[in-house]
Structure formats: C-alpha cells, structure tokens
Amino acid sequence: MEQINAIGRRKSAVARVYLKEGTGKIIINKVDLTQYFPSAILQYVVKQPLELLEATEKYDIKANLDGGGFTGQSQALRLAIARALVKVNEEDKKALKDQGFLTRDSRAVERKKPGQPKARRRFQFSKR
C-alpha cells in the first residue's frame, strides 16, 4: 500500500494527514500524539474513526496541523483521518458517515462588524 493523504478542516484549523500501513503510531508535527494532545478527551476524538473500524494497530499516521486551537485541531485531524480511511477502503464510508466523521463542521467565528465592539455586541445606548 502506498502513502495516502487527506485534508481536514475545522474552524481555522487545517490538518494534512499521510496514512500508510504500520503499527499504529500517530505523529503530529513531528511529536507523538500523547505529547501533542495531553488531554485524554482530545486523544479519544482523534482515534474515533480508527476505533470504529478497529484499525488502530493497522496504520501509521503522520499529520501536519496548522491554525486554530486544540479542539479545532483535534476535530480537523479526525475528519482528515476518516477521509483517508475511506480512500483506503470505500466500503467503510457508510459506517463513518453514520457516525458523522465525514461531515465538515462549517461553523466558524462570525466576523466583527464596524461600529460595534464585537460581532453582535453593540456599544451601550445612551438616550441623552
């Protein structure tokens, strides 16, 4: 099997994933998964598509993460891994789609408008 790449995005985070057969190592920005995401919840989010397909020990994953915060990066990485797994085996698409791992969460921060302190917050109104 050759190397398969995929991309995932969430908020302002971008994850580029390179997947190949291996022993289950996940390297993010040249650092191990447990060091990059110390939180067990974020590690769980990243591994969700692999655990669903029972493929945690089948593939080595190398990822480049850029932009966003920890949550956005972990969810972008989850989407990228799910997309790469579909490229490996098209039959897994239904299982991943049913869990919502192939759906791009399009929510992003609303832009700040001129004449206001934030996106929706207005300056205090003064009658006099």
Chain segment 58-73, per-residue pLDDT in tens = 999 999 999 999 999 9
Instruction: Report yes or no: 58 and 21 within 8 Å, Cβ to Cβ.
Output: yes
φ, ψ at 84 (rounded to 5°): -65, -40
Model-level pTM?
0.91
Token pair in block for residue 73: 């990066």
Q: What is the pLDDT of residue 104?
A: 94
d(CA 108, CA 105): 9
Reported as half-sphere exposure (CB side, CA atoms, 13 A), residue 73 has a value of 16
Instruction: Report yes or no: 83 and 97 within 8 Å, Cβ to Cβ.
Output: no
**Whether pLDDT at 1 is above 90:** no
Token pair in block for residue 2: 């050759």
Is the alpha carbon torsion for 82, 87, 88, 93 positive or negative?
Answer: positive
Q: What is the pLDDT of residue 116?
A: 96
Mean pLDDT of 4-25: 95
Q: What is the pLDDT of residue 102?
A: 95
4-99, CATH topology level: Ribosomal Protein S5; domain 2 (3.30.230)
